[in-house]
Structure 1
Amino acid sequence: MSFVYKLHPEAQKEYEDSVIWYADRNLSAAVGFVDAVERALKLICDYPLLWRNEYKHFYEYNLKKYPFTVIYFIEDSNGTIVVSAIYHQKRIPTNKYRK
């Protein structure tokens, strides 16, 4: 069973801010970042339990070429992956896990 995903509003903002940051510096890096996140979300939806479960019910997927981690949890009741953060790995992890 393949899941569908939705982005928490804060995760959506983090994602958009990161795309803008990359686009201001290098358009091909921004396109690569978007592709990397899209590939990650597809893999997560196809194999949600494959990546590490670091804290409570949250799972983490590290992007390969970018210093970001996709943090998500699974809502089994409706088959949805909720992306709670697209977290830059150099940030202080105060709100890394949000519901």
Structure 2
Amino acid sequence: MPGRPGGATTGREAADEARSHGRLAGLVAFRQEGNDWPRHHDYDSEREHTLGVWIHVQRYKRRRGGLDPVKVKLLDDAVPGWQAGRTRGRPPPQ
């Protein structure tokens, strides 16, 4: 994290970090409940939308090289396959 000289962070940075950890925990729980990757469009609930927007932004930052490597590792460890997400088209038959 960039933070301030000497490693100090602002209140906003700390809040952003806490929110990110909360979103990651929420995504882990969402997937453990048997759900597919959350959508940021055509979502079924506010929870799915919130998580869908968050993971969409993480993927975007990762593709552009702007996601902190520590966050990439956290995502890789907690929710393998997060970078690929849903496959396009119709969901597979169940």
**TM-score, with normalisation over the residues of structure 2?**
0.35
- Which structure shows the bigger proportion of residues in helix conformation? 2
Structure whose CA Rg is larger: 2
Larger RCO, structure (CA 8 Å, separation 6 or more): 1
Given the two structures, how large is their TM-score scaled by the length of structure 1?
0.33
Structure with the bigger percentage of strand: 1
